[in-house]
């Protein structure tokens, strides 16, 4: 890794916060989507919230790219993957999601925006300013190829899993806010395959880029999504009496 020595304290503090966040989310369900409840203050339309939350990640990273000078091939690859993911998540996902009548607490959106700004700043600085010499060049060794493969596989999994959920609502005569049991793709084995895909994707990114910022992003993704996957499975089981008992939360047959 080419990180400067003072990136370590930043990493440790930021990753420590992820651990605290993980512990809190094991007891408090982030109040959006199926876990939304009254009493979390003002709300905004869910579609607007997703564009704002994810779009800032795209803007910060793009700003740092333009501020950099002659980024190496590794930085350019990381930047391309970032644009690919956040282009989808900021603009395509919110437009296609069946959430027209949904809202999101402003507090949740502000917390997500704060996280995305810090995360994109950390990753952008590490990609464009902290990778000296050889560390800035993409090497096509086994680890990098595995990283690229996992990124592509993870993206495909969460793309398809989100699509299965979307079709549950678009297949009814009028778009609704109702929930059904999904029975296609990886949904047949786990309750939250979209989260599994996202985790695999950012594991691939961390393997490929291999700096502290990328690894901290992977840890943060787990801190956010593992407790929510557990909560989603519990929600399915209490909401649908016929929910298949063999479905695990996140990893088929294991967890």
Ligand X SMILES: NC(=O)c1ccc[n+]([C@@H]2O[C@H](COP(=O)([O-])OP(=O)(O)OC[C@H]3O[C@@H](n4cnc5c(N)ncnc54)[C@H](OP(=O)(O)O)[C@@H]3O)[C@@H](O)[C@H]2O)c1
The binding site for ligand X (CB under 6 A) comprises 33-34, 97-99, 102, 158, 162, 165, 168-169, 177, 179-180, 182, 192, 194-195, 198, 221, 224-225
Nearer to ligand X, 143 or 177 (CB): 177
**Which residue, 3 or 54, has its beta carbon nearer to ligand X?**
54
Nearer residue to ligand X within complex by CB, 73 or 177: 177
Is-contact 220 156, C-beta < 8 A? no
Q: Which helix (H) or strand (E) holds 218?
A: helix 212-239
Least distance (Å) between residue 52 CB and ligand X: 14
| Interhelix angle 106-128/212-239, nearest 10 degrees | 150
Residue 150 CB, nearest distance to ligand X (Å)?
15
CB-based closest residue to ligand X: 33
For the bound state, the minimum distance from the C-beta of residue 9 to ligand X, rounded and expressed in Å, comes to 23
- In angstroms, the CA 215 to CA 122 distance is 11
- Cβ-based nearer residue to ligand X, 2 or 185: 185
d(CA 35, CA 21): 17
| Dihedral of the alpha carbons of 182, 185, 191, 192, in degrees to the nearest 10 | -110
Q: Which is nearer to ligand X, 2 or 33 (CB)?
A: 33
Give the nearest distance from C-beta 103 to ligand X in angstroms: 10
Query: Which has the closest alpha carbon to 181: 231, 156, 190?
Result: 190
Can you name the residues that pair with 45 across neighbouring β-strands? 103
Is the backbone of residue 32 left (phi > 0), alpha (psi -120 to 50) or beta? beta
Q: Which is nearer to ligand X, 158 or 233 (CB)?
A: 158
Sign of CA dihedral 125, 131, 137, 141: negative
Cβ nearer to ligand X, comparing 76 with 166: 166
CA distance 39 to 25: 17
- Counted residue by residue, the chain has a size of 255
Q: Rounded distance, CA 35 to CA 239, Å?
A: 12
Taking the complex as a whole, the smallest distance from the CB of residue 134 to ligand X amounts, in Å, to 30
Q: How far is the CB of 61 from ligand X (least distance, A)?
A: 15
Q: How far is the CB of 68 from ligand X (least distance, A)?
A: 24
């Amino acid at each position: 890794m080419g990180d400067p020595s003072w990136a370590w304290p930043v990493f440790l503090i930021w990753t420590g916060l992820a651990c605290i966040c993980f512990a809190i989310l094991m007891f408090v369900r982030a109040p959006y989507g199926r876990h939304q409840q009254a009493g979390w203050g003002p709300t905004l339309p869910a579609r607007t919230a997703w564009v704002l939350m994810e779009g800032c990640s795209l803007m910060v990273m793009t700003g740092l790219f333009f501020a950099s000078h002659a980024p190496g091939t590794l930085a350019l690859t990381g930047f391309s993957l970032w644009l690919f993911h956040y282009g989808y998540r900021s603009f395509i996902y919110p437009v296609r999601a069946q959430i027209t009548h949904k809202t999101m607490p402003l507090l949740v959106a502000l917390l997500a925006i704060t996280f995305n700004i810090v995360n994109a700043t950390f990753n952008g600085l590490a990609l464009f300013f902290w990778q000296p010499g050889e560390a800035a060049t993409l090497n096509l060794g086994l680890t990098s190829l595995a990283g690229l493969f996992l990124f592509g596989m993870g993206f495909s999994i969460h793309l398809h899993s989100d699509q299965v959920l979307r079709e549950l609502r678009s297949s009814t005569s009028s778009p609704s806010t109702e929930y059904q049991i999904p029975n296609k793709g990886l949904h047949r084995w786990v309750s939250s395959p979209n989260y599994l895909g996202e985790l695999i994707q950012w594991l691939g990114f961390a393997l490929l880029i291999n700096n502290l910022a990328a690894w901290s992003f992977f840890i943060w993704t787990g801190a956010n999504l593992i407790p929510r996957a557990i909560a989603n499975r519990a929600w399915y089981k209490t909401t649908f009496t016929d929910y298949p008992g063999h479905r695990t939360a996140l990893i088929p047959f294991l967890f």
